[in-house]
Chains A and B, each alone.
Chain A
Amino acid sequence: MDLFNFLSYGFMQRAVIAGSFIAALCAILGVFLVLRRLSLIGDGLSHVTFGALALGLFFNVTPVYIALPLVVLSSLGIMKLTDAQHIYGDAAIGIVSALGIAIGILLVSITKGFNIDLFSYLFGNILAISKAEVGMSIALAVAVITVVALFYYDLVAVTFDEECAQAEGINTKAINKILVVLTAVTVVLAMKVVGIMLVSALLIVPTATALQIAKSFKMTLLAAVIVALVSVWTGIMLSFFLDWPSGATIVLVSLVLFISSFLYRKIRK
């Protein structure tokens, strides 16, 4: 079979298009999250997504319609808890994450175990993405990237040094809220690509790779996006030809790229 023949299938075209938008989105937000040492917020919110999906399946509502508002609210809840005295940021993420998982497990057990839908969300199956989901992924990805572009310099300045940014009149609280809300939307979108279990990898690994080679902030963003795109494209292709699970394959490709860049940096030194 021609190597690129697989792109003639409609489901592969949808997977590549939606995967590309979501990968770029994860990479861009991942740079800000990793540098803010907020990497694990993606993990925490993905656990909330699990609870929200279980809720959707329990009430027989399209899971994403429940997940999107609930995960956005949870992201703001994490911010609120972090602002409260005596609660560290990672503890706030842990608290909200535990709540999501606990509710999810409870609902799954009430509905007598896992069903196929929940399984596909947990481990991702981009090859099964529908036309409507592609449309929603593109629309939300474009919206999120537009917001990042509009607040780009404020986001970078707050990420670099929050105190200085605040002293320069930047509304750091609003910028932090924008960042976590965008992350919440992205986590919900990315679950179809790599699954709830691996969504934080798509946020963290491309940035970790870009940081090994980048020579400026803009180059870090660009490199992270390229790494994420290559991971998704190669992962989809390998999963098609080798019949491997798509989410895990995408993440494994991104990890191979990370290890390569890490070794490249070591050798160069």
Chain B
Amino acid sequence: MSVISLAVDQVTVKYQANEVLSGISFTAKTGDYIGIVGPNGSGKTTLVRTILGLIPPTQGEISILGARQSQFKDWQRIGYLPQKLTSFNPQFPATVREVVSFGLLSGKKFPKQILRTDEVAIDKALAILEIRNIKHKLISELSGGQQQRAMVARAIVGDPELLILDEPTTALDPETRERFYAVLKELNEKRKVTILLITHDIGTIGKYAAKMLYLDKKIIFYGGFDNFCASPDITEYFGEYAQHLICHRHDKPKVRE
């Protein structure tokens, strides 16, 4: 039986008079893999930041892993990768190991300590992202792609049930990007991790995500990629030609419903 991991109900976010999100409602079941797409300024990042409680909604309710968001405390059950690598100071003098270990803090009691027993989880996350060899390197000495993988390792080190990634592939070369998507697929299929992934690359995400959520301040479309390509709403929104270009940029999608 599928359990609801995330329920967003009539969420509206306003910055003063400016409505950034309007009446957003959708649910994600355990093991869903949802690609969140939309133009710049469509509210994608605002949506995930609202889900995470970083922005208070003006209206509406959110429930995460069975609890109302305002009462949710089990943050270790959620992994988050913010939009830009620039959200952290790239000159910060921490090793990859130290950075990944931060992902375990939300599950700790005061006074928080990273113990020797935590090394197993850290090594496992590094192994999944294939960066064990740079464990003791300073994060500032790494390439953008390696930094991105370290940040993803931080997001997954706590074995999250819900993983929220905001444009995680922007700093990755095509080969690394494919490997990265393979890692997410494995987490999603084998461990039933629910994934919300923001991207501009509609064609590529259509290959991996079972569902697409097209956002432009309100939800334009939410459903499978095949349906996205056949949706008259999307045809109306993009026009036939643009829809054709988006939907034929890749091999036939493997849609799980």
Q: Which residues of A contact B (CB under 8 A)?
A: 35, 37, 149-154, 156-157, 159-161, 163-170, 210-211, 214-220
Q: Does B102 lie within 8 Å of A164, measured CB to CB?
A: yes
Check if B103 is an interface residue, CB within 8 A of chain A. yes
A164–B54 CB distance below 8 A: no
Query: Does A161 contact B87, Cβ atoms closer than 8 Å?
Result: yes
Determine the main DSSP class of A at the interface with B. helix
* A266–B92 alpha-carbon span in the complex (Å): 19
Is B154 a contact of A217 with CB atoms below 8 Å? no
Residues of A within 8 A of B54 (CB): 163, 166-167
Asked if A220 and B105 sit within 8 Å, CB to CB, the answer is: no
B113, A160: Cβ atoms under 8 Å?
no
B105 touches A157 (CB 8 A): yes
B98 near A164 with CB under 8 A, answer no
Q: Which of B26-34, B73-81, B207-215 contacts A (4 or more CB under 8 A)?
A: B73-81
Residues of B within 8 A of A218 (CB): 98
Shortest distance from the beta carbon of A151 to any chain B beta carbon, whole Å: 7
Complex Cα gap A169–B65 (Å): 15
CB of A160 within 8 A of CB of B75, answer no
What are 25 pairs between A and B in contact, CB < 8 Å? A153-B113, A153-B114, A154-B105, A160-B89, A161-B102, A164-B87, A164-B102, A165-B105, A167-B52, A167-B54, A167-B75, A168-B76, A168-B105, A169-B73, A169-B76, A170-B105, A210-B93, A214-B93, A215-B138, A216-B94, A216-B95, A216-B136, A216-B138, A217-B94, A220-B93
A residues in contact with B73, CB < 8 Å: 169
Q: For the complex, give the distance between the alpha carbons of A149 and B93 in Å.
A: 19
Query: At the interface, yes or no: B110 with Cβ under 8 Å from chain A?
Result: yes
Q: What CA separation (Å) do A151 and B54 show in the bound complex?
A: 21
Given A160-B99, A216-B94, A216-B98, CB of A167 within 8 Å of CB of B105: no
| Distance from B109 Cβ to chain A, minimum over Cβ atoms (Å) | 12
Q: Chain B's nearest CB lies how many Å from the CB of A156?
A: 7
Output the least CB separation between B151 and chain A (Å).
Answer: 8
Closest to B139 in A: A160
Please, which residues of chain B bring their CB within 8 A of the CB of A35? 89, 92-93
Interface residues of B (CB under 8 A from A): 52-54, 73, 75-76, 78, 80, 82, 87-89, 91-95, 98-99, 102-103, 105-106, 108, 110-114, 136, 138, 154
Q: How far is the CB of B107 from chain A (nearest CB, A)?
A: 9
- 7 smallest beta-carbon distances between A and B, as pairs: A169-B75, A161-B88, A168-B106, A167-B80, A153-B112, A220-B93, A157-B102
Task: Write out the residue numbers on chain A whose beta carbons fall within 8 Å of the beta carbon of B88.
Answer: 160-161, 164
Q: A157-B105, A169-B75 are in contact. Are A163 and B95 (CB under 8 A)?
A: no
Q: Which residues of A contact B75 (CB under 8 A)?
A: 167-169
Query: Could you tell me if A150 and B102 are in contact, using CB atoms closer than 8 angstroms?
Result: no
A216-B94, A217-B94 are known contacts; what are 18 more A-B pairs with Cβ within 8 Å? Answer: A152-B112, A153-B108, A156-B102, A159-B92, A161-B102, A163-B87, A164-B80, A164-B88, A166-B54, A167-B53, A167-B75, A168-B76, A211-B91, A215-B95, A215-B138, A216-B138, A217-B95, A219-B93
Per the bound structure, the CA–CA distance linking A216 and B114 in Å amounts to 15
- Chain A residues near B108 (CB-CB < 8 A): 153
Contacting pair A164 B105 (CB below 8 A): no
- Please give, as numbers and ranges, the residues of chain B lying within 8 Å of A37 by CB-CB distance: 89
Q: Are B94 and A150 touching (Cβ within 8 A)?
A: no
B115 to chain A, nearest CB (A): 11
CB distance from A64 to the nearest CB of B (A): 30
Measured CA separation A37–B103 after assembly (Å): 23
From A157, which residue of chain B is reached at the shortest CB distance? B102
Complex interface: chain B residues within 8 A of A219 (CB): 93
A37's closest neighbor in chain B, by CB?
B89
Collect the chain A residues with CB atoms within 8 Å of residue B106's CB: 168-170
Q: Are B94 and A160 in contact (CB under 8 A)?
A: yes
CB-CB < 8 A to B98: which residues of A?
156, 216-218
Give the residues in chain B near A214, CB-CB below 8 Å: 93
Q: Which residue of A lies closest to B106 (CB)?
A: A168
Q: How far, in Å, is B249 (CB) from chain A's closest CB?
A: 32
CA distance A182 to B110 in the complex (A): 19
Residues of chain B with a CB closer than 8 A to A169's CB: 73, 75-76, 106
Measured between C-beta atoms, what is the minimum distance from A39 to chain B in Å?
13
Give the shortest distance, in Å, between B156 (CB) and chain A (any CB).
13
Interface pair A153/B89, CB less than 8 Å apart? no
> Given A35-B89, A154-B105, A169-B73, are A164 and B113 also a contact pair (CB < 8 Å)?
no
Q: Which of A149, A153, A164, A217 meets B82, CB within 8 Å?
A: A164
